[in-house]
Amino acid sequence: MTRQLKETIYYKENEYRIKDTPLDAYLQEKNISFPGRASNCWRGYTGKWEVKDDKLYLINFHSIIYHHKPISEQEKIENFEKNKDYYKEHYRITGANEIANYVSTEEILGLDYLFPGQEEVFADWFTGEIRIPYGKVLYQMMYSSIYEKYTVLEFKEGILIGEKKFDNEELIADYSVTLPNFNQITIELTKEILDALPVNDIIYAEFAEYGAMGCAGQVMIYIIKDEKLICYKANLLTDEDMQKQVAFLLSKYSDWNLDFFEIEKQTNNNNESQLIYYEGGFSNNVFVKRNVSLKAVDKHFVYEENNKEYHIYSSVYGVFKNVAYRMEKIEMIEKDDDYENYIQKILDIWKIIY
C-alpha cells in the first residue's frame, strides 16, 4: 500500500495535515463513492477543513471523474501517429506497448458537486476524533510518520466538545498504540552525503525506477551510526545525475545490472558482491548487506546489532512482501534438500506475509 494523501485542516490560524477523513461518514450515509484516481488516494478525493467558533466546516473538496469514449481501429492508428513520441517514452518507462481502445476526458469536481451553491458546509454528520500532528517527526514508518506531539479534537455532530494535547509517550499510553523503538533518523540524501558514504555501512537500500510501484524515483539507504538507525532518503526524478550516481554505486557492489539506464555497469575489484540484490517487484530494486540477517516481522524487517533491534521499513508493503519471500526462499534452498518439506515451508511463508 502506498502512503495516502492527507486531508488539510485549519485550526487556530494554523494549517495541518491529518490522516482522519471526516467526510467518509457523510459519503457512506448517502451511498456516494469516488474511484481511486491513483495508488496514493484510494478514497478518490481530498478535502479541506476549518474549525471556526468550535464548529467543523468542510471548505474545499477535490475529486476527478474520468469519462471514457470507445474509439475505432482507424482512430487508434491516427492517435498513435499523432503521439509516437509519447508511446515510445511510455514503453521505455513502463514496458507497456498497448494503445488505448478509448479516449478519456476528466471532470474535476469541487465542493459544489456534493453541496450545490455552498462555499462551506457545517459537518453536522461527523462525530469522532481528529488527530493533529505537529513538531518533529520522530519515526518514519512505511505508510505514515510518528510526530513529537499531537492535538486530539473531539467532535459531536460537528461541534467541538473537547481538546487534548499529548506528547508521544502519553499518546501511546492513553491509546494503547504499540510502536517500534524510536531509534531512526530520516535525513535528506544529498550529493555530499553520497560521496562520503562507505558502501560497507549500507544495511538496506532501495532504488525505485521511473514508473515503479509506490514511490517512483525514490532512493532509501539505511545505515547505523552511533547506535542510531539513519535513513537517507530522496526522490531523484528531477535529478538524473544524482540518480545515476546512486545506481552506479549500488550496481557496482551487487549483481544488479543497469538495463534501466542502458549503459554498462561499473565493477569492483572484489570477487564477491558486498550487497545482495533482490527484485522488489514493479521496477523496485532492493539491496541488503551481505552476511547480515534481516527478520521479517509484522510487515517490516528487524535488524539486530550489539543486542539492539532496528526496525527497517520498505517504501511500500508490496516491496517488503516480495523481498521477504525471496529471502526465505533462497535461505531454504540453501539449507533444505527435502523438496516436499521445502514446498510446505514456502506455503507457510505466504501465509505469514500475506
Q: Tell me the pLDDT tens digit for each residue of 108-167.
A: 999 999 999 999 999 999 999 999 988 876 655 545 667 778 899 999 999 999 998 887
Q: What one-character-per-residue DSSP string does 13-70 give?
A: TEEEEES--TTHHHHHHHT------BTTBTTSEEEEEEEETTEEEEEEEEEEEEEEEE
Q: Amino acid letter at 117? A: G
* Residue 324 CA, distance from chain mean position: 17
For residues 146 and 131, give the distance between their C-alpha atoms in angstroms, rounded to a whole number: 12
Domain edges within the chain: 7-66+108-175, 184-353
Write out the H or E segment, with its range, that includes residue 339.
helix 339-353
Asked if residue 127 lies in contact with residue 157, where contact means CB atoms within 8 angstroms, the answer is yes
Express as a percent the part of the chain with pLDDT over 70.
71
Question: Phi and psi at residue 191, in whole multiples of 5°?
Answer: -65, -35
Residue 324 confidence (pLDDT) above 90: no
CA angle 276, 232, 215 (to 5 degrees): 80
Residue 351 confidence (pLDDT) above 50: no
Give the residue from 247, 232, 248 showing the smallest Cα distance to 283.
Answer: 247
Residue 72 confidence (pLDDT) above 50: yes
Residue 90: what pLDDT? Answer: 46
Length of the chain: 354
Question: Phi and psi at residue 12, in whole multiples of 5°?
Answer: 50, 45
| Average pLDDT estimate for 59-71 | 85
**Radius of gyration in angstroms for the set of CA atoms belonging to the chain, rounded to a whole number:** 24
Residue 250 confidence (pLDDT) above 80: yes
Q: Are strands 45-52 and 7-11 parallel, antiparallel or unpaired?
A: parallel
Asked if residue 312 lies in contact with residue 305, where contact means CB atoms within 8 angstroms, the answer is no
Residue 282: what pLDDT? Answer: 79
C-alpha separations of 136 from 101, 157, 229 in Å: 48, 32, 17
Write out the H or E segment, with its range, that includes residue 303.
strand 300-305
261-310, pLDDT tens digit by residue?
554 555 555 546 789 998 888 788 999 999 888 988 877 899 998 888 89
For residues 209 and 326, give the distance between their C-alpha atoms in angstroms, rounded to a whole number: 20
221-248, pLDDT tens digit by residue?
999 988 888 989 888 877 888 888 898 8
Question: The C-alpha cell of 35 is what?
Answer: 474511484
Longest dimension (CA), the chain: 71
- pTM for this one? 0.51
Asked if residue 266 lies in contact with residue 248, where contact means CB atoms within 8 angstroms, the answer is yes
Average predicted confidence (pLDDT) for the chain = 78
Residue 106: what pLDDT? Answer: 81
For residues 1 and 344, give the distance between their C-alpha atoms in angstroms, rounded to a whole number: 27
Give the residue from 264, 262, 293, 261 showing the smallest Cα distance to 276.
Answer: 293
